[in-house]
Amino acid sequence: PPGAHVPALVIGTGYGGSVAALRLAQAGIDVHMIEMGMAWDTPGPDGKIFANTTKPDRRSYWLRTKTKQPLSNFLGFPIDKAIPRYTGILDAEEMGGIIVYQGRGVGGGSLVNGGMAVTPRRENFPAVLPSVNTDEMYNVYYPRANSALGVSTIDPAWFETAECYQYARVGRKHAQRSGFPFVFVPDVYDWDYMKQEAAGTVPKSALEGEILYGNNYGKKSLQKTYIAQARATGRVAISPLHKVTSVRPAATGGYTVVIDEINTNGDTVTTKSVTADRVFFAAGSVGTSKLLTKLKATGALPGLNSEVGKGWGDNGNVMCGRANHLWDPTGKLQSSIPCSGIDNWAAGGAFAEVAPLPTGIETFASFYLSITKNPHRAQFTWNAATGTADLNWQTAWKQPSIDMAKTIFDKINAKEGTIYRTDLFGAYKIWGDHLTYHPLGGAVLNKATDNYGRLHGHPGLYVIDGALIPGNTSVNPFVTITALAERNIERIIAADL
C-alpha cells in the first residue's frame, strides 16, 4: 500500500531478484518484489497461460500492435502480424542499433528463454568476472545455482533415437565432420516430461513449439523454483503490473521508491510511494541500467559514480541458418528446447547452439544462435530532451561476431558443399545481427558497485542482476547471473544486515 515501509524492496523478478528474495526471506527479512509485467498464473480463453510460438496473440508481446519475431522472414517473406496491444510476455525493445529481447512478468527472462543452463568453462571464467574468486564460484556458487534451478542434461541414449532431435543429430554430424567439438548443453526443462510428450502421454509443450511466448508445461521457470521457494517462506510479497520509476534517499533514512501501477494497456492507473531500508536493483541489464542512468542524471541519486551506464554488451549474439542437402532433413517435429552446441570458443571465439526451427514442416535448414567474444561495449546516457536513457550500440559492431561465427559455419559449408540461408532475417540477408537475447552489463561489478554489488555513494542500494556482468559470459548467461547473485547476497546478508 502507498506510504508503506518495507525492510527490503526488490525491483524485478528475474534471476537476480529471485535469488535475493529467497535468501533474504530465509534470513528472516520481509521482502517486497515489484514487477512491471504480469503474474502469468491465469489461463487465457484457450485454457492455456501462454501462447504458442506459431500463433502469437496479445499475450505474446509487451505493448506492441504488431509482432516483432526474431526470425522476421520465411522464404524471404515477412511473417510479422497485427496483435492487440497488451502487457504481453516478450519485450522486443528497440534501442537504436539493436533490438533487445527480454521477458516481462513474474519470473523475468525465465518465462521466455530456452532454459539452456550453461556454466562457463572454468578456464574462461577469469575473463568474464576478473574480480571474482574462481575457486569459490566453481566450488560453491555455481553448484548452488545449478541445484536450485533444477539443471540437468538430456539422456544421451534417448537423444540418439528421439525424432524431435533429428535436427541436433544433423548438427552434430556436420560439426564433427569439420572437426569441431560437439557438446550437450544442460537445460532446466524436465527431460522426463519431454520423453512423455514424445510418447503422447502428457500435454505437449516443447514438442508443440512452445518457447518464446512461454512454456505451458515442462520448463522449470523461476516461478517453479526460486520464486516458489521464496513464497513458501511466507515473507515474500510480489506486486505484478507495478513499475518502479524512482528511488531517492528518504528524509527519515532508507529510500523513497516511486512506483506506477499500470493496467494491461500499459497506462498508469495510480502512482505510489513507499519507503524501503534497502533496495535491490534486479530489473535486468537494460532495466537496471536505464533506471540508474536516469537517477544519477536527474539528481535523485547524486552519489552514484561515473561507471553507471557503462560496460554494456550483447554477449556477442548472432544468428544464422544453413541450407542442407535433401538427404539431410532436419525433421518436421523439432523440440523447441535446444540440447547441444558447437564449441569453437578457444580457437575462433564462438560457441554456437544448434537451435530448432519448429515450423511444423520440413525446412532442410540448420539454425544456430552463436555466442561470440565480441569486444564492443556500449554506454547508456540520459537524454533530457526525450526523458529516456539511450544506448549507443551500433549495428555495425556485430561484424566481429559474424567473423567469429564464420570460423565455424564457413568451414562446415565448405566441407558439406552447402550454403547459408538468406531468407530468415529479410530478403537475401544471411546474418541475424540486429538483436540480442543476452543483454549484460551497465552497472558493472567492482566498477559501478563494490565487489559484491553495493552501489557506490548510497549505502543500502544494491545491483544483483545481469547488469553486474561486463558484457559477455562466453556461454548463455543465466546460470552465471544466478551464481553471482548467490555469492553476493550471502556476503550482503552476513555483513550488512
Which residues would be at the binding site for ligand FDA (CB under 6 A)? Answer: 11-17, 34-37, 101-105, 108-109, 112-116, 212, 243-244, 282-285, 287, 291, 437-438, 465-466, 476-478, 481
121 or 403: whose CB is closer to ligand FDA?
A: 121
Residue with cell 576478473: 130
CB of 248 to ligand FDA, least distance (A): 15
219 or 411: whose CB is closer to ligand FDA?
A: 219
CB of 310 to ligand FDA, least distance (A): 17
104 or 174: whose CB is closer to ligand FDA?
A: 104
148 or 418: whose CB is closer to ligand FDA?
A: 148
CB of 149 to ligand FDA, least distance (A): 10
Write the burial class of residue 74 (CB in 10 Å: 0-12 exposed, 13-18 middle, 19+ buried): middle
Residue with cell 497506462: 267
Longest dimension (CA), the chain: 72
Which of 242, 434, 438, 458 is catalytic? The answer is: 438
13 or 166: whose CB is closer to ligand FDA?
A: 13
C-alpha grid cell for residue 287?
532495466
Q: What one-character DSSP code corresponds to residue 324? A: P
Taking each helix axis from N to C end, the angle separating 166-177 and 399-416, rounded to the nearest 10 degrees, works out to 90
- Using CA atoms, how far apart are residues 224 and 138, in angstroms rounded to an integer? 25
CB of 328 to ligand FDA, least distance (A): 25
Contact 67, 58 (CB under 8 A): no
Which has the closest alpha carbon to 350: 341, 358, 359, 361?
Answer: 341
CB of 83 to ligand FDA, least distance (A): 17
CB of 252 to ligand FDA, least distance (A): 23
Q: Could you tell me how far CA 123 lies from the centroid of its own chain?
A: 23
Pairing label, strands 73-74, 31-34: unpaired
Tell me, yes or no, if 307 is annotated catalytic: no
- Using CA atoms, how far apart are residues 463 and 289, in angstroms rounded to an integer? 10
Strand partners, 366: 322
CB of 65 to ligand FDA, least distance (A): 20
C-alpha grid cell for residue 214?
512461454
Which has the closest alpha carbon to 384: 289, 309, 294?
Answer: 294
Contact 106, 13 (CB under 8 A): yes
Element (H, E) at 244: strand 242-249
Tell me, yes or no, if 458 is annotated catalytic: no
Taking each helix axis from N to C end, the angle separating 478-496 and 15-26, rounded to the nearest 10 degrees, works out to 30
Which of 353, 416, 458, 486 is catalytic? The answer is: 353
285 or 330: whose CB is closer to ligand FDA?
A: 285
- Strand, helix or coil for residue 194: helix
119 or 418: whose CB is closer to ligand FDA?
A: 119
101 or 409: whose CB is closer to ligand FDA?
A: 101
CB of 287 to ligand FDA, least distance (A): 3
- Using CA atoms, how far apart are residues 339 and 321, in angstroms rounded to an integer? 17
Pairing label, strands 268-281, 90-94: unpaired
Cβ atoms < 10 Å from Cβ of 385: 6
Pairing label, strands 419-420, 318-323: antiparallel
Residue numbers annotated as active site: 353, 438
